[in-house]
Every structure is written in C-alpha cells, then in structure tokens.
Chains A and B, each alone.
Chain A
Amino acid sequence: MTQGLQPVSALSHRTVTKKTPFSSPGASFRMVPPEPDMPHDSSTPPPTSLPCSEEAWQLLENLPLPVLIASLHENARVIFLNRQFTATFGYTIEDIPTKEDWARLAYPDPAYRNEVFAKWDDAVARAIREHGSVEAMEFQVTAKDCTLRDTLFHATALGDTLQVTLTDLTARRTAERELMSTRKKLERAAYEVTENIPVGTYTLVLPLGGAMAKFSFMSSRFLELCGLERQAAEENPFNAFACVHPEDHAEWVRKNAESFEKKIPFSEECRVVANGVTRWIHAESVPRDLPDGSIVWEGVLTDISRRKTAEAELAASEARLQKILNNIPIPIALNDARGDSPITFLNETFPRAFGYTLDDIPTVEAWARLAYPDAEYRAETFGIWNAAVEEAARTDGIVQPMEAHVIAKDGSHRDVIISAALFDDMLLVAFVDITARRQAEENLRLAREKLQRTAYELTSNIPVGTYVLEFDLGGTPRFTFISERWLAMLVLRREEVLADPSLAFSAVHPDERAAFHRLNAEVFAEKRPFFWEGRIVVQGRIRWVSIESIPRNHPSGGTIWEGVMIDITNRKTAEAELAAIREQECKNEARLRDDLERKLRTSLTAAAVAHEINQPLSRILLTSELVLENQQASSSSDPKLSGFLRELATDARSIVSTIETMKSLIRNTETAHAPLDLLEIIDSAILYGGPFAREADASISFHRPARAVRLAGDADQLQIALNNLLRNAIEALDGVGPENPRFVCVELREGLRQIELVVGDSGPGLLETGAEGPLAKSSKPNGSGLGLFIVRTAAENHGGRLEIGRSALGGAEFRMVFPKGNGK
C-alpha cells in the first residue's frame, strides 16, 4: 500500500495547489504522499486508495492546523504532513517516515513514549473496531527544536489510513500553568499576610443541623492570643473560651451565645490569660451564610492591652488630678468654655468656701446669678472676665487674674482673686479668698489712723523727752516739736524755749558745758548723729541725762534734728554704787589675799621655827634624860645635878608639848584640799599611836573597810586630829584597872551622805558629855584642852563636825563627821 507514496518532504516543496489529499467524505482512502517529482499534471495517476482531488490536497496542505496522514499498515508509514505540521513541530516527512521514527523523536523519553502509545494504539484500535473517531488525546510532543508542545490529537481512521489532526495547545497550557502558579503565589501571599498581621483571625464554621462548630482557619496570632495549640482548638472550638479571664468569662459566654443565637455581629472586649500573661483583647466576628446552609463566623482578635493600659493610666491620671485639685486648699472649678458653659467639676474646697455644690451651679450662668446677685455688678464683672478669657484664648491660655466680690451661699460676702487657665475648651478657675486680708488691711488702716491720732499723746507721755529742732539755711535754730516731758525735765516753759532755743543748753553742768558745745559744733558741722551723756543742773539739783539726736535734711535745705533726752540719774547712781562696791570688793579681796599670804607665811615660819626648835630640843631632851639615867645609875650621883637635869627634861617636854600644840593650831589655819584615802591616814595614825598604846598597855584595833574611803581634804590636818583622838583615848585608859580590857577602837563608817571617823575607848568615859563640856576644858588633869579643839577645828575645816558620845567599849566615843562629796 505504500508504493507510489512520495516522501512528505518532497511534497512540502511542491505547490499546494497540486496536492489532492482528500477523498470524498465517507469514501475509504489511504494516505499517500504525492510523488515529489511528479508534477500534478503528470500522467501517472495518484494512488487509487487516495481518492483525493487536487483541491482536497490543497486544502489539507493549507489547513492552519497540523495534519498528518499515516498508513494503518506498512509499518505505519507516514503518508502526508501538511505545511502547518512542519511549521509547528519542525519535522518533515523525511524526518519521520514511519510511526516509529515519529515516536522516537516526538517522545524521546521512552517511558512517556510507551505511556503515550499504549493509550493511543488502544484508542485507535477501538476506533477502527467501532468505526468511529479516535477520542481526543493530549500529549506533550518534543518538537524538532526540542521545545515541548502540548498537543491535542484528533484522529479518524479512513480506510487504511489514519488521519490525525494536531492542535498545538502549548500557548494555552503555558498560560494556564502560569495562571495556576500565580494563583498559588497569591494564596501563599494571602496566607502569609493573614498570619503576619498583628491581629488574630479565624473562621468558625457552624454546620447545618447543629453539628459541632469547627475552626476552618486559625491564624498563628489567634492561637497565640488564646494560648492554644492548634490541635486543641481544632478538637474543640470551645477551648478557645478557656483563656478568657475568670472575671470576664460568664459575660463573655453570654454575649457569644446571644450573637450565635441571633446571628448578629459580635464585638466585645475582655481579658484573656495566656501563658501566664493577661491581655486585653477586642474580638469581632461577623456571620455569613454558606450556600449549603451552614454559617461561617469570620472573626478578628485584636490585642488592646496597650490601649487599655493607656486608658487605665489616663483614668488614674485623671483621678490623681482630681485628688490634687480636691486637696488644694483654694476653691477650684472646671467648666466647659463651649455652649452654655456647663461646670464639670468643683473641688472639695469649693463648697466649703462658698457653700455652692454642682447641683446649685450646674452652669457658669447659674453661678453668675447666685454669686453676683446684683445685675449691674454681674454684667460689669463678666464683661471684664469674658474679655480676659477671650484674650487668654488668643494668647497663652492664662486668664488675667481679677478681683471680685462674691456672695456665698450663706449670704456672706467674699473678696476673691479669680485666676484661670484655658486648656483646649476647658477653663480651670481658681478662687483665692482674700476676705481676711482685705479685713486685715482695713483694720491696719484704722489702726494707722488711730496711731496717728494718738502719736502726739504718746510722744508727750513717754518717759523720755523728745524734740525736733530745725536749722534753716542760715543756721538759725527753731524748735518745731517739744514734748511735755522734755520741758518738765528742764523745768522750762514752752513759750520761752520757742522764743529762745539756746535756753535748752543752759542747764548743762558748768563743768561739762565747754565739752558739750564742742561736741555739738562738731556733730552739727559733720551732720552726724549726736550722743552725749552728762550732768545738767535744774533748780540747783544735778541730774544725769543722755541726749541722742539724729539729723536729716529739710526739703528747704536746712537740717532737722530729732532728739531724745533721757534722765539716767538712777542708772548713773546705780553705776556709781556698783563701782564703789566693786572697789570695796577689790579691796576686801586684796586684804584677804594679804591676810592669807601673811597667815601662810606665819604658818610656814612657825612650822619651820617649831621644827628648828624641836631639833635641838630633842637633843637636849635626850641628852638630859640619858645623863640623868646615868646619874641615877651611878653610885656617885649628884642629887643637885639630878634635880637640875630632871627640871631641864621637864621644861623641855613642856616646850615640846607647847610647840606641838602650836604646830597643830597653825596647821589648822590653812586647809589644803586634795584627794586622799582616809584608810592611809588611819593606818599611819595607828602606827604613830602604837608606841603610846604599848606604853599604856593598850591595843588599838581598826575595823577596816574593804575598799578605800575617799575624801577631798588636808591629810596632815586630819592625821594630826586623829593622832590627838588616839592619844586622848589612850590617856583615858589611865584610869582603868588591870582587870578590865584596855582597848582603843577606830572605825570608819561610810553612809550615803556622810563619813564618820570614830575613835572609841574602853576607858571610864566622859563625866560630862554636853556640847561644850569636853571641848571647853581639858579632859585630863594636865591637858591644855586644846587637843579636842584642834580636832574640832580640823573637822569644821572639812565642812564637818565633831560629835561626842559613848563607845560600845564602855568609854568615850569621838566622831569626826564629814559630809560626802564636800570637796572642801
């Protein structure tokens, strides 16, 4: 069947008009390529199986669709390709002489090729079997230039041939693919935009028939705001409600239910707690019906925490402002400057000050009527006020303060200074109540008037003389004011002084007159303040006065001297007396000092003398006693010498005793005060008294305190006193028989306020214990009586006293009592 078939390529070069590929419709034909070299007018007849006319071939050749005719036999030889085929796919009949060649080139991928031909061959076989058309099929064909062509194949089996029409769909498919890609991109972008906007979005579908609602879309932000995992929300949409703050939950569910039920848009604010963070959100949701009867709620969740915080802060700030305003101790009002000027706020001070509350004065007009009942005054005041407010609105907003007279609710009158500031349309008005100040000013004015009225009286009544003396340019003096007191002090009459001002100076004491005039002249020349203290003689009596005068210039060029004269006689007298006393005191002091020095000198001299006498005396005494002893021991003793020696010793002892007493007396004339420990003194005195005690077969005991007993005093004086007491006590034991104890006991008793140094003995005691008795005269037959006197003086020198009583030992007890902390 393929014989006589011209290569398709040859055909393509031939003029189309010469081709006749078509057979008549319904006729069986074969696809036979025209003989290339054979002119269409050749005598060789075309293959019989191609019952085509030249017109038909021409039509096929020029058809704007690619057409291919192939044999159904002969290895499926390609019989014909039209021009559009080659134009579309690039292949000529030489390229694809058979179906196999076509298959290899058009479908280079073997797998795809097999897939294509499995479908195609099957379809072709079915078409032949059913005498119908091959169903349309689309394959991707590789063109000769290697481009891929989306191609739709239509084919019809015509006899032994298969006529295939190919439609190039590449452009369309490309467009379609691009469209798809763009759509996908758009979807992606939409998704991303939805995900990234700062609000949470969702779509909730309520299926028809009451099945459970389901989220069909939830943006990540939505999940984040609700603190939900996607899965949890998908499983049960009501999980989304769990995040609502417990306090807001009930209301939230109620509103939701209402919206769902009535299918009305939902818009609510509430708090949500997600991941431990509480946020304010605003949820909005709008229902939409779907064709299938279900309802879609498309919602948006917006985080409004910042707004809420700002609102809260604003509210707090307003509350603070109100609190501040309330606590300001001056009345403050806020009013809207627009419309009928409603008053929006009065601080707590306002009603206290004026009595009016917001109920009384809801508007400025109401206020004006009540506070300024006088229409004329009201008009005048508000005229000024409104002008000031307008001016403030034009400038910096500060209203020029003005003073007004306001009537309070209780009818009282108030002077106030009103100041205000304009904030946008709000006027803040402050009232400063100056009623008290005005009253004070009024009182002050009255007081001043009164003061002026009484000034003259006062001036004339004060206990100093006052005057005003004016000098004109020529230096002529003239009194312009003289107080009564001044005149009285100088015993002058007003008229005579006014007539002759020099009379004022005439009273100055003659001894001081020259100095007074000199000072006057100096001060007058230098125009400086004048001060003088001196004597004046009035009616033969001398008085002391001080005169003080201060100059100031007179407008006419002269000088005004305003002066004061004070009688200082009493002060001067007192000063003189004081000076005399001081002088006397100085003298006394000097005398005392001299006295003390003399005493001290005498004491020291006497002590030194006593010591000096004692030294040789002790030698005389010792010598005479030794010699006497030797005399008495010697067989050839001279009784006369012995007598002399005895007398000498007795005299010497008498002198020693006298000197001792003298020393003690002198020692008591001066008392040194130094810190001392009485225990040390007692120990030393007992040591000193020890030999006397032993000589008298007596023992001295001392009940010794545990710690030192301090006193400020003269250690020598106290020790001598104690020596005397001990000697006295020991000597008192002379009268005690050998059967009785011979004790002297020293005690130191420390009380809260005093210290007692006690010496007691077991002697017979004093016969007479009167206050003066034992001290006035000697308690011993040959005593001078000075021993106890020395003791008493020493005690008194220390601010203390000597007390006498009976000792527990049976004898006398002498107590030197010292006040504690005496220091003297």
Chain B
Amino acid sequence: MPTSLTASKPTPGKPRCVIVEDHLMFRELLGALLEAEGLVEVVAVARTAREGSKACELHRPDLLLLDLALPDGNGVAVARTLAKCNPAACTIIVSGEADTFRCPPALKSQVYSIVDKTRAFSILRSEVAGLVRQLVGGHAVRPETSSLSPREIQVFELVGHGLTSKEIAEKLHISHQTVETHRRHIGSKLGIGASALVSRAAIHNLTSRIERQP
C-alpha cells in the first residue's frame, strides 16, 4: 500500500486510484478490496478532505473513491479539486448517506456512481470493474438510450430486432404514422438520420445481448 501523499510511479495500463475515507478500518478494507481485484492501482489514501484534495492535486488520479462525511468537511470539495486537475477522471462516492446525496450539477459528468457503504462489497467491485472497462476502452459514457422516452425505447429496441415500421405498429397497437414519428424523434435525439437509425439500433441490440451474457 503506498503512502498517502507520496507520488508513486504509475503502473502502465492500470487506472490510478485515490481513496478518501476517514475510518481506518474501512479505508484498509476498501484498499484490500481493490488490490484483490487488481483492476486499479491505489496511488494514495487520505483521511480528510484537505488530504484528499492534496492527493488529487499531486497524483491526478483516474479514479477517486470518496467518502462524504469527513472530519474537516464534505467530501464534495475533493471531487471539485479533482475535476479541476483532471477533468477526465471519475469519482465513485462510497457513503453511509448515499441514498440522500444530491449530486451538484457541476459534478454530474464526473460522478460515475454512488455506492452505499453497506453494499460496498457487492456493488463497489462491479462498479469499479465497469468503470475500468470504460476507462480503458475510452471515456465513460451514458447509455445512448438514456434520453429516449419509454415508447421511443420500445420502438428503438424493435427496430434493432429488425422489425419494419408496419410490424412495430402492429406489435405495439399503434398507427404506422405514430411509429414513423417515433423514429424521427429517436433519430433527432441520437443525432442520426433515418438510414443510420436501423444500423445503430441493431448495434445497440447486439451490444446489450453481449453485455448480458453471464
């Protein structure tokens, strides 16, 4: 385990991580959890917000595991510091008050997820793993369907399955014209033309299936 505020030599290929947690045991446990997975390299751990900010400035980590209730204030300050020194970095908040945490709008793109401390073991590892996959493969992105309405999602899914507008209309018990309107809206929201819509939907469908594979 590296010392908290000493810049370490980065291991090539592994995202670098800073843990900010005031409770010693939990801090050690989190460290152990991540080490065991071997997905990230923990470059520094900090006990306070001040230490956390310093560590972020020093190491400019790719990932920040952040507790909110710190002895010297709210952990959000550390996330802000990281956003400044490494705008591409991601933060996973690990907190006992995760269910009532409201993410400041400025940090929305930076905060990848919020994990309840009591679910650290089950969720945190998969979250970190998912994030690392995205970090290594490129930028963390939101699913492309996140801006679509329920009906649009249905239409998008069915287009991906290779159904025609007429077939979709029959399946959803709506008019052909309505399906066409949905397709137009989907294209507009995803920034693609009518012809690209079919291929994009097919790719989405395929990716989802692959991801769902156990």
Residues of chain A at the chain B interface (Cβ within 8 Å): 611, 614-615, 617-619, 621-623, 625-626, 629, 652-653, 656, 660, 680-681, 683-684, 687-688, 690-692, 694-695, 697, 699-704, 715-716, 719-720, 723, 738, 741-743, 745, 747, 760, 807-810
Query: A701 contacts which chain B residues (CB < 8 A)?
Result: 143, 145-150, 153
A611 touches B97 (CB 8 A): yes
Q: Complex Cα distance A174/B153, Å?
A: 147
Report, nearest first, the 5 A-B pairs whose CB atoms are least far apart: A618-B117, A625-B121, A745-B150, A656-B118, A703-B149
Q: What string of 1s and 0s marks CB contacts (under 8 Å) between B131-166 and chain A?
A: 000000000000101111111011001000000000
A680 touches B102 (CB 8 A): yes
User: Are A741 and B96 CB-contacts (below 8 A) given A618-B118, A619-B29, A697-B212?
Assistant: no
B115 touches A723 (CB 8 A): no
B154 touches A809 (CB 8 A): yes
User: Are A611 and B114 CB-contacts (below 8 A) given A619-B29, A684-B103, A738-B212?
Assistant: no
Most buried by B among A617, A619, A747: A619
Q: Which residue of B lies closest to A649 (CB)?
A: B121
Q: Which residue of B lies closest to A688 (CB)?
A: B114
Query: A691 contacts which chain B residues (CB < 8 A)?
Result: 113-115, 119, 123, 126-127
Which positions 104-120 of chain B face chain A at CB distance < 8 Å? Answer: 105, 108, 111, 113-120
Distance between B147 CB and nearest chain A CB, rounded to angstroms: 7
User: Are A694 and B108 CB-contacts (below 8 A) given A699-B143, A745-B149?
Assistant: no
Q: Indicate if B196 sits at the interface (CB-CB under 8 A).
A: no
B102 touches A614 (CB 8 A): no
Q: Which residue of A lies closest to B129 (CB)?
A: A694
Q: Which of B97, B130, B153 contacts A694 (CB 8 A)?
A: B130
A702 touches B99 (CB 8 A): no
Counting residue pairs across A and B whose Cβ atoms lie within 8 Å, the total is 134
Distance between B74 CB and nearest chain A CB, rounded to angstroms: 15
B26 touches A619 (CB 8 A): yes
A626 touches B33 (CB 8 A): yes
A618 touches B120 (CB 8 A): yes
Q: Indicate if B194 sits at the interface (CB-CB under 8 A).
A: no
Query: A621 contacts which chain B residues (CB < 8 A)?
Result: 118, 120-121
Q: Which of A625, A680, A743 contacts B105 (CB 8 A)?
A: A680
Most buried by A among B30, B119, B121: B121
Residues of chain B at the chain A interface (Cβ within 8 Å): 23, 25-26, 29-30, 32-33, 36, 96-103, 105, 108, 111, 113-123, 126-127, 130, 143, 145-151, 153-154, 157, 208-209, 211-212
Query: B113 contacts which chain A residues (CB < 8 A)?
Result: 687, 690-691
A699 touches B145 (CB 8 A): yes
Q: Complex Cα distance A807/B154, Å?
A: 11
10 additional A-B residue pairs with CB within 8 Å, beyond A621-B120, A738-B212 = A614-B117, A629-B36, A680-B105, A688-B99, A691-B123, A692-B123, A695-B122, A703-B148, A716-B100, A741-B208
Q: Which residue of A lies closest to B189 (CB)?
A: A703
Query: A683 contacts which chain B residues (CB < 8 A)?
Result: 103, 105, 108
Q: Complex Cα distance A681/B103, Å?
A: 9
Q: Complex Cα distance A760/B33, Å?
A: 35
B150 touches A743 (CB 8 A): yes
Distance between B7 CB and nearest chain A CB, rounded to angstroms: 28
Q: Which residue of B lies closest to A612 (CB)?
A: B96
Some 18 contacts from A to B, beta carbons below 8 A apart, are A611-B97, A615-B23, A618-B117, A618-B118, A622-B26, A622-B121, A626-B36, A683-B103, A683-B108, A688-B101, A701-B143, A703-B147, A703-B148, A719-B99, A738-B209, A738-B212, A741-B154, A760-B150
Query: B130 contacts which chain A residues (CB < 8 A)?
Result: 694
Query: B96 contacts which chain A residues (CB < 8 A)?
Result: 611, 614-615, 618
B149 touches A688 (CB 8 A): no
Q: Which residue of A lies closest to B157 (CB)?
A: A741
User: Are A694 and B126 CB-contacts (below 8 A) given A716-B100, A723-B99?
Assistant: yes
Q: Complex Cα distance A452/B65, Å?
A: 101
Q: Which residue of B lies closest to A809 (CB)?
A: B150
Distance between B134 CB and nearest chain A CB, rounded to angstroms: 11
Query: A809 contacts which chain B residues (CB < 8 A)?
Result: 150, 153-154
Q: Which of A618, A694, A702, A720 contacts B26 (CB 8 A)?
A: A618
Q: Complex Cα distance A601/B44, Å?
A: 40
Q: Complex Cα distance A719/B108, Å?
A: 16
Query: A703 contacts which chain B residues (CB < 8 A)?
Result: 147-150
Q: Complex Cα distance A723/B25, Å?
A: 28
Query: B151 contacts which chain A residues (CB < 8 A)?
Result: 808
Q: Complex Cα distance A335/B30, Å?
A: 124
Query: B36 contacts which chain A residues (CB < 8 A)?
Result: 626, 629
B126 touches A617 (CB 8 A): no
Query: B98 contacts which chain A residues (CB < 8 A)?
Result: 688
Distance between B52 CB and nearest chain A CB, rounded to angstroms: 19
Distance between A488 CB and nearest chain B CB, rounded to angstroms: 74
A687 touches B146 (CB 8 A): no
Q: Which of B23, B123, B145, B157 contacts A619 (CB 8 A)?
A: B23
Distance between B105 CB and nearest chain A CB, rounded to angstroms: 7
Q: Which of A684, A702, A808, A810 contacts B102 (CB 8 A)?
A: A684
B29 touches A623 (CB 8 A): yes
